[in-house]
Amino acid sequence: MGGFVRLRLKQILYVACGVVFSGACVLGVGYHLDQNEQSGKSAFVDYLSDIMLSQANKTVADAITGIDMAEKLGAVVCTNANVKKLQTIALARPSISEIGVVNGSGFLVCSSSGLNYRFVGKSKSVYDKGSRLQFAATKAPDPNGTTLILNRTLPGAYGLQATVTQQALFNNPLHSNLQASGKVGISLSNGVRLVQGGGLTDDNRSADKNGLERKVLASEIYPITATVEVASAALPGGTFNNLRIFIYLGGFVFCILTGILAYDLSWRERSLSGAVRTGIARREFIPFYQPIIDGRTGAIAGCEVLLRWRKQNGELMLPHLFIPEIETNGQIAEVTRSLMRIVQEEMGSFQTDNPGFFYSINLTAGHLTSSEIIEDVQAIFPIGDSSITPDDLVFEVTERQPLHDMNAARLTIEGLQSIGSKVALDDAGTGHGGLSYIHHLGVDKIKIDKLFVESIGKGGPTAPIVDALLTMSRELRIRVIAEGVETPEQFDYLSSHGVDYLQGFLFARPMPRNAFVHYYNMYHRELLQMQPGSGRGEDEPMMIEAAQ
């Protein structure tokens, strides 16, 4: 009875909040149209140009990192080993569709794709002094549009060249109702268009009596610009400015519909619970694997098992979209159990070939309230009957969630350790327990959060925390994993300071089982070639960087 009352109160609260919120939104829209119509249009166009340029900047930066890696690895001569390095770089960098070596006449001598050709119809280039790159555009080899070409001339007869994928460079931000009356695009600073979207034409421009809202935003770091043009009448405050009565009438209807929708959403927990049960039965909850690198040897020592929900229609949901809900519903243990079974099934043969490899699995605060997780581990990974045993498992406990019963959490952790598993404190120093969790929980490892790692080399306020965590871990004899490693500078700093394990996009993104095994084998073939007697020069970089 009490549960029914709570549910009814929650429904009433949802409806009230929905109506109040939607009503406030309608009144706010009316006030905005009255007070600041033109400013709103300009702000919207500014917003579109900003998100376009931000994506383009990130994509170019990622591609430049790939070129920097190739140069650092000395992959500027076409040997089989260097082609493998180029392939590894292209695989790890989502912005690069191809990277290769070019000669003085612009002919692609060798590349990650295995193709050899010379670009035709290449545009006039723009030189960027900061990155030492020529930026240009060409119609080849992409038949669907212009391709961004980054070319770096090096001392000697050869240089490096990378082509940037259009999908990574540009996503059309125009909503469907603005497609016909707007145009957006990314160009080089010399006016050469790289990619564009939208249906605005010269005829549309001349027919629009209200004019256009136009914004050209130039990057401060690269020779690229983002351009947005939208017919003024199509923006909020144009046509609707003359139809206020309909706005308020529609707003009243909207309030009613929002109340109905809020009532319907109050049943979301029940419907999600059923979807989760169906997803478990269909094996829709799947593991992705992200490599964890040994900081001393450069080998891939283990991986973090990351949960994904791939629905039957192909939609892939990330954990933050559903984990809070299934924790509330009490289904997190069931989902984790299903995930561990799949890991045991699909990685068993890999573990047989690679003994000592470890799997890091995330737990929530709810897992630490009982011994259920211990029983699940013993049942799914039985010693003697499974290639993967509890000794091969590391369980990550996040500090971002409060542990309400520290004694129960400590008992659960001790139980996992008693069967051979290790326990790591994830997000160390960022959450509710501060550094006290490290002492009270008796963990074997700590993970330095990306928040702290990304401050390395930037002089940010969180940088000293990394040093403090490393000092404390050495005193307590606790292993350290640094996650979120994305730049060579971060890698060099953490390696030189004795971090035991490293993880991040610098090495690889999370990937399904088959892609992970392929990456693992390719990585270690390259690593073996760097061993003494391989014939490589002592001044050549370690192959660990080639896998980045």
Pairing of strands 445-448, 479-482: parallel
CATH code of the region 56-235: 3.30.450
Domain ranges of the chain: 56-235, 285-341+361-378+399-533
Q: CA-to-CA distance for 383 and 210, rounded, in angstroms?
A: 75
Same fold, 56-235 and 285-341+361-378+399-533: no
**Is 162:173 a contact under the CB 8 Å cutoff?**
no
What would you report as the CA-atom Rg of the chain, rounded to the nearest whole angstrom? 27
In angstroms, the CA 151 to CA 61 distance is 14
Task: Give, rounded to a whole angstrom, the gap between the first and last alpha carbons of the chain.
Answer: 57
Distance CA 423, CA 393 (A): 9
This prediction has a pTM of 0.52
Contact between 357 and 302 under an 8 Å Cβ cutoff? The reply is yes
pLDDT at 547: 36
Distance CA 357, CA 138 (A): 45
Query: What parts of the chain have a pLDDT lower than 70?
Result: 1-40, 120-121, 140-145, 202-210, 236-255, 257-271, 399-401, 429-436, 459-463, 531-548
Provide the pairing of β-strand 133-138 with 126-128. antiparallel
pLDDT at 101: 93
Whether domain 285-341+361-378+399-533 has CATH 3.20.20.450 = yes
